[in-house]
Each structure stands twice: as structure tokens, then as C-alpha cells.
Structure 1
Amino acid sequence: MITAVALGDGVGAAFTGRAGGVSTAPLDSLNLGGAVGDDPATVQENRRRAATALGVDPARTVWMRQVHGADVAFVTSPDLPGPVDAIVTTVPGLALGVLVADCAPVLLADPVAGIVGAAHSGRPGTAAGIVPALLKSMCERGADPARTTAAIGPAACGRCYEVPAEMRDEVAAAVPAAYATTAKGTPGLDIRAGIAEQLAEGGVAGVHIDPRCTIEDRGLFSYRRDGRTGRFAGFVWLKEDA
């Protein structure tokens, strides 16, 4: 259910899968998304289970209302004033969550500065620069890109993420490394490669890329594969006992 990621001393980070929850088909079973038509009580139980497995407080987890934009919010509590696609905190014990089902969940941490961030970076957000905006926000609060580590989670891969040629060209004009050709020889996008390029340009060298493709891996939710489906999550937090 949980894939842990090492982002440095005093930092917790992980990606969930779709098993281990109580949601029924087609959202089975660990759906963490609250806007996909699932029963709210079921979603709350799934979020409780995920937080418990991570060792974090479900009542101290920040969930974004994601809109495929490039806005970043600094948070000190689970309450958010409006929709954003990236969040930053310096508060130990406050877990940041990002929901996905083909878009890339991106987690950043500078353990020395005591700051972590999470971003939802799909096609529009990657082209708009949500991850560079997150890195900039973290640096404004003391993070150093040379110390910062990153994890790019499971997402639709370039072999599977088919798009019209015009859309590929539009994204690649902003993020050249996202240009891809699918296994069928059609125009595609490699969002994770694009994000890795953005992080490298921002001075972040320590980048871990989860190789799993959401479309190929049935252990993950995928909107492009299944249509109506659930959401898995990336989590990052500063440990309170660090």
C-alpha cells in the first residue's frame, strides 16, 4: 500500500497505492480523493488508514483543491483558503498530501532548512511551471536547491500518454524534455522527464523518479485507463522527533 521515499534525515515521504482501503468498485479500494463521487465517510476512513500507515496524524494532513494551475500556498495548518496545486510548510508533523491518477505527484525537501513541499504536476501544471514555482517558494523561505531532494511519483509514462501533436508541441515548447513518442509511434508526453528537467534547471540534483506508469500498473489508479476511478497520493512531512 505504501512506497516510502528517502528525502533526507527528519523527513518522511511516501506514495500510496490503490489497495488497503474500503472503497468499492470502480474506486476500490484506497481511494483518497474527495471529489470523485465516493462516500465522504469512506474517503475519511481511507485517509485515516493511509495516515496511520505513515505514522502521521490524519487530522494534521493538508489536502489541496487542485485545479491544474501554478499557484503555491504556504501552510501552517490543514486549512487552505482556496485552490492551489502546490503547498509548502516548515511545521513539523504537518503532512502535505497531493492527489493524482495519471498526473505526477512531486515531493521536495530541504532537511537542513526544515522545509518541505508537494506539487500536483500534470500536463497543464508542468507547462505552467508549478514545480519551479514550488521550488521558488521554498527558496524564499530558506531552502537551498543544492541541498534539496525531490521525488517524482508514479504517473502516465511517455510510452502510454498519447496526445494530439499540437498539444505535444505546445507543452514541449515550454518543457522540451516532455516531448515523447508513444509505443504506438504516436505523439506523446513524458511529464516526469519534463519535471526532472525543470528541477535540474533549478539546481536540484538529487531527484528520485518512481518508474511506475499509472496506465500500465493496475496497482495504481489511472483516469486515462479507467475513466471514473479513485486517487492515490504522495505525502511529505517534517518529522516531529527529528
Structure 2
Amino acid sequence: MRIRRVTTTREGGSSSAPFDSFNLGGKVGDAPEALAANTRKLADGIGLPEDHLVWMEQIHGRTATVVDGPQQAAVEASDALVTAQPGLALIALTADCVPVLLGDPEAGVISAVHAGRVGARVGVLPAALKSMREAGARLDRVEALIGPAACGACYEVPHDMQADVEKHLPGSACKTRKGTAGLDLRAGLFEQLAQVGIAKIGVDPRCTMETPELYSHRRDDGRTGRFASVIWMEDE
């Protein structure tokens, strides 16, 4: 099974400011017709029908949902999707949170994970891996891509929040560029993956807060769009 992964940017879409221009988030206040055009463009770009794009109602939790076919609406109250069906594109939407794309090409099992601070803290990534194993994946065969997110040098948090997240996600505490308490969620998630035996881990180094072509909730004062991290399988 061939696994494909794509990360979109904010360029080349139909949305007007402040969502300009390839926003794929449906609950940010963007014009519905612009969102529809952007969704069509995503489907066309990856060569799948629109109804084979599978979205999540992301709530910063740890629920992983297995899907086995096209969905009529976003999967309710989920922050991870898992499938063993080729031709279904699983999508995580982010704008500072961490998207993680996981796949076992031999078993033909994939997952898209939305790991924000709260979800990472409560264990959304282990929940996704558990669902993948139940679907037939083996952790030593899983390949992971940790996508663009707010970097530790930019992600400033209160000391007590840093300590709490570090307790549940070791390796995430850091200092920001200003020398204040910070969080590097990607570092913590990398360590979490490595600890369970996943050896093939790629990291997109881009920081959303520092990269103009990506959306950033923090940089843009909460008024912005969402980019998509997408994973799907093709028969070889």
C-alpha cells in the first residue's frame, strides 16, 4: 500500500482577508462559497472525490475514531481518525497545534491526529496508536510525520501550565526566545513516539508563528484560517 501525505499552505485559494486565501477551516467565519471552492481545489489536487475527504469536529480531546467509508459530515467530537480503507483522505486542521500523520504501509492502516496543547497533554497520540494497532498496524512499522506547528522558541506559556504539560508529555518544556517558560509540543510528541518504538519519525521544521504562508492563531490574534494535513492510501 502506498501512503501519501500533503500539507497545504494559505496560498492559492479563494478566501478573502483575514482568511486569505486557501482556508479549509469551516468554523472560523470564512465565506461558505470560498470554503467550498477551497475544498473542491483540495480534492482535485490530491485526485480524490470531495466526499472521500474525511474531516473531524476537533475538540482538543483524545478520542480516536475509526472510519471505513465516506462521511456525510465531520466526524463528531474526535481529534484522531484511523482507517484501513484506501482512497479515504483523513484530515487534521491546524493553525499552531500539531498535526501528526501516521501510517503502517504493510498493514494498510493510517491515522491523522490533531494534537494541540490539551490533546497532547491528555494522550490523543497514544489513543490514535492504540486504534491503529487494533486495526492491524504494528508500531515498529508505523511511519510518522509531525507537521508544522508553533515552535518552542515562540510558544510562551505560564510556568504552571508548562509544568503541567511536561508532567504528562515529557520533553515538551523549554525556554522561549525571550527566556520565558515555553512549550515545544513537537519535541514532546517525538519523544512519545520514540518511547513506544516508532523509529521512522519525520518533522516538518516550519513554525506556524514564523512562517507567513501558514496560518497561526497566535500570530494573527485568533482571526485566521486553518491549513490541512492530509493522509491517504493508494493501491500500488
> What runs of 5+ residues in structure 2 fail to find an aligned partner?
none
The match for 2:233 is 238
Distance across 2 between alignment mates of 1:33 and 1:117: 19
Task: State the Cα distance separating 1:54 from its structure 2 match.
Answer: 1.9
The match for 2:190 is 196
| Corresponding residue to 1:96 among 75, 81, 90 | 90
User: Which structure 1 residue ranges, 4+ long, deviate > 4 Å from structure 2?
Assistant: none
1:31 correspondence with 2:23: yes
1:120 correspondence with 2:114: yes
Task: State the Cα distance separating 1:145 from its structure 2 match.
Answer: 0.7
Distance across 2 between alignment mates of 1:11 and 1:105: 16
Letter of the 2:42 partner, please give it: A
Q: Is the 8 A contact 1:105 1:120 kept in 2?
A: yes
1:174 correspondence with 2:173: no
Distance across 1 between alignment mates of 2:76 and 2:82: 14
> What runs of 5+ residues in structure 1 fail to find an aligned partner?
1-8
Distance across 1 between alignment mates of 2:97 and 2:60: 10
Task: State the Cα distance separating 1:203 from its structure 2 match.
Answer: 1.2
Distance across 1 between alignment mates of 2:202 and 2:43: 22
Distance across 1 between alignment mates of 2:40 and 2:125: 28
Q: Is the 8 A contact 1:63 1:78 kept in 2?
A: no
Distance across 2 between alignment mates of 1:233 and 1:118: 10
TM-align CA RMSD = 1.0
The match for 2:39 is 47
1:10 correspondence with 2:10: no
| Corresponding residue to 2:53 among 36, 55, 61 | 61
TM-score scaled by structure 1? Answer: 0.94
Distance across 1 between alignment mates of 2:69 and 2:29: 26
**Structure 1 range deviating more: 51-60 or 121-130:** 51-60
For this pair of structures, how many residues does the alignment match? 233
